[in-house]
Amino acid sequence: MTDISPETLLAKTAKGAGWIIGWRMVTRVLGMMSLLFLVRLLLPSDFGLVTLAMGFSQAIDALSALGVEEAVIREKNPTKDLYNSAFTINVIRSVATATLLVAASWPVAQFFGDTRLFPVLLVLALSALINGLENVGIIEFRRNMQFDREFLMLSIPRVVSIILAISLAFWWRSYWALVMAIFISSTLRIVLTYVFHPFRPRFGLKAWRQIANFSIWSWLLSLTSLARDRCDTFVIGRVMDIANAGFFSAAVEIAVLPASELVAPLQRASFSAFASTRHAGSNDDTITTYLRVLSSAVLLALPASLGISMVGPLIVEVAFGERWRAASVVIEVTGLGLSLMAMGMISAPLLNAYGQLRGMFKIQLAAVIVRIPLAIFLVSRFGLLGGAIAGALGTGIEQMLYVAMALHRLRLSPMELIRHNGRALIGGGTMVAGMMALGLAWMDAPTVPGKALQALAISVATGAFIYTTAVVLLWLAAGRPVGAERDAMELLRRLGRRATSVVRKQWIVLYGHG
């Protein structure tokens, strides 16, 4: 990765994030369409069962997650031995993961009082074993920010998974449709890593020390991350029942859409950008990149999170139907609580790129220690509402600690962060106030067929108009400064030019003249 200017790096980061966002949007649209079918073909307990099984599988996988990919990306000039060592370590950890899953499958089924978990976990163990064979050569896509290659490689298995899930659900009317779709798409993804990259890994551990120096803290972070992310669902599944775990997991998936679909792509692309500025040794370039990427993430994710919270009951009514209404309160609380999550999500890859994993681990460990008993207490007292409150509080505090740590690392003041994000924050507040004044925020969903969809469309359009208008007016009043708003305008102009060019070419093809 060669040293490049901040503006070029920001352009590459935006382009890379664009490809990732494009992939996630395409697959998410398809996924939401499949979910509309699946929630009517399968029971909430089916979703709860698969969620618990996947959560436990990922928790076991975290026991041996060593952050191998990040370790290679952080190296300025990785060798072939480093790639081979990374591949070998991944194979070893996949064997360990599969073995633990097989050994724990029956005790876990007994713990949750559902023997259906046993065979599901065995299938996931086989999937974990196959995942270890991934071609580590694809790490080069992230190192060189070639996210268009990742777009193609990841899209194919996702589309296949969606088609399989719907087809098998029609045929079987069973949770096995979800399980087999996960297994087959995962296997296909491994095959495609060899199709898309020519590197052919071999077994060897000559460079294991380079990975080990970075990986111990990455491993600990993986453990605490999985404990943090899954503890609420596990507590609900144990204290309440699997059906309520299904309600909770489906609602949280909706509430975190801004983070998963808008911020996560920026987060993934920015790690490569921060690694590049670290190699160049330029703190000023890092600060410029950090503030611009973070403000872009907040500009996009803040209104989306607040909006999802305000229309939670409408989303549930339109997307899931009457029997899923219990999930509404989870969307409302989680969306509101995670409205500023983008700041922490962009701070985390910065800290990761600069090797600040010890501090990140301390923050996550403290979050888990507080969150688990808090979830047990609140779920026991308030049910799903309690789980949502525990999750939102725990995640919000953790993300703000990441921001504080990043500001300290870059020697930035909190006021600098507020200065770069003030217009988005004011715009978000204006949107909430306007929606409440119009009676469009946190309203009960109409029960008349079609009315909920109409109310949802009106609410989304109104909220987007209020937010966009407020932010644009504030930006113009400030003299059109360089920042997220200008980046967004430039992106829209670029997309407009590209769309115009495509239309013009098609016109010439069809009619033979311009």
Query: SS3 sequence, 463-507?
Result: HHHHHHHHHHHHHHHCCCCCCHHHHHHHHHHHHHHHHHHHHHHHH
209 part of a folded domain = yes
Hey, what are 333's tokens?
């609380």
Angle made by CA atoms 72, 76, 82, in degrees to the nearest 5: 40
**Residues 41 and 89 placed together within one structural domain of the fold:** yes
Q: Is the pLDDT of residue 380 over 90?
A: yes
pLDDT at site 476: 92
Average pLDDT, the chain: 83
514 part of a folded domain = no
**Residues 128 and 87 placed together within one structural domain of the fold:** yes
**Residues 319 and 459 placed together within one structural domain of the fold:** yes
Confidence class for position 2, pLDDT limits 50, 70, 90 = very low
State pLDDT tens for residues 262-277: 787 778 777 777 877 7
Average pLDDT over residues 456-484: 92
pLDDT at site 285: 77
Confidence class for position 9, pLDDT limits 50, 70, 90 = low
State pLDDT tens for residues 124-154: 999 999 999 999 988 888 777 676 777 778 7
Of 165, 190, 223, at which residue does a domain stop?
223
State the virtual CA torsion across 78, 79, 81, 85 in degrees, nearest 10.
10
**Residues 126 and 27 placed together within one structural domain of the fold:** yes
233 part of a folded domain = no
State pLDDT tens for residues 201-216: 999 988 887 777 666 7
pLDDT at site 121: 93
Confidence class for position 442, pLDDT limits 50, 70, 90 = very high
Q: Which residues contact 393 (CB under 8 A, 6 or more apart)?
A: 337, 374
Q: Are 301 and 307 in contact (CB under 8 A)?
A: no
507 part of a folded domain = no
1 part of a folded domain = no
Tokens 């996009």 sit on residue: 300
**Residues 277 and 395 placed together within one structural domain of the fold:** yes
More confident residue, 384 or 502: 384
pLDDT at site 106: 94
Of 223, 254, 281, at which residue does a domain stop?
223
Give how far Cα 136 sits from Cα of 86, 203, 270, 450, Å: 7, 12, 20, 49
Our count of domains for the chain comes to 2
More confident residue, 16 or 397: 397
**Residues 196 and 289 placed together within one structural domain of the fold:** no
Q: Are 69 and 131 in contact (CB under 8 A)?
A: no
Confidence class for position 456, pLDDT limits 50, 70, 90 = very high
Confidence class for position 57, pLDDT limits 50, 70, 90 = confident
Domain span at residue 393 reads 240-497
pLDDT at site 166: 84
Phi-psi region of 505 (alpha: psi -120 to 50; beta: other; left: phi over 0): alpha
- Tell me how far apart the alpha carbons of residues 178 and 47 are, in angstroms, rounded to a whole number: 8
pLDDT at site 61: 72
Phi and psi torsions of 318, nearest 5°:
-75, -45
208 part of a folded domain = yes
More confident residue, 492 or 236: 236
Q: Is the pLDDT of residue 29 over 90?
A: no
**Residues 385 and 290 placed together within one structural domain of the fold:** yes
pLDDT at site 511: 62
**Residues 77 and 27 placed together within one structural domain of the fold:** yes
pLDDT at site 1: 47
> Exposed/middle/buried for 233, CB within 10 Å: 0-12, 13-18, 19+?
buried
Hey, what are 97's tokens?
């993961």
Nearest alpha carbon to residue 409 among 365, 366, 349, 364: 349
Amino acid (1-letter code) at residue 303: P
**Residues 432 and 459 placed together within one structural domain of the fold:** yes
510 part of a folded domain = no
Phi-psi region of 151 (alpha: psi -120 to 50; beta: other; left: phi over 0): alpha
Hey, what are 205's tokens?
């551990």
Hey, what are 108's tokens?
């876990």
- Tell me how far apart the alpha carbons of residues 251 and 249 are, in angstroms, rounded to a whole number: 5
Confidence class for position 5, pLDDT limits 50, 70, 90 = low
467 part of a folded domain = yes
Average pLDDT over residues 90-115: 90
End-to-end CA distance of the chain: 42
Q: Is the pLDDT of residue 282 over 70?
A: no
Confidence class for position 230, pLDDT limits 50, 70, 90 = confident
**Residues 217 and 316 placed together within one structural domain of the fold:** no
**Residues 480 and 398 placed together within one structural domain of the fold:** yes
Hey, what are 43's tokens?
């029971």
**Residues 157 and 261 placed together within one structural domain of the fold:** no
Which alpha helices (DSSP H) does 320-413 contain, by range?
A: 328-337, 341-353, 357-382, 384-410
Angle made by CA atoms 19, 24, 26, in degrees to the nearest 5: 95
Average pLDDT over residues 335-360: 88
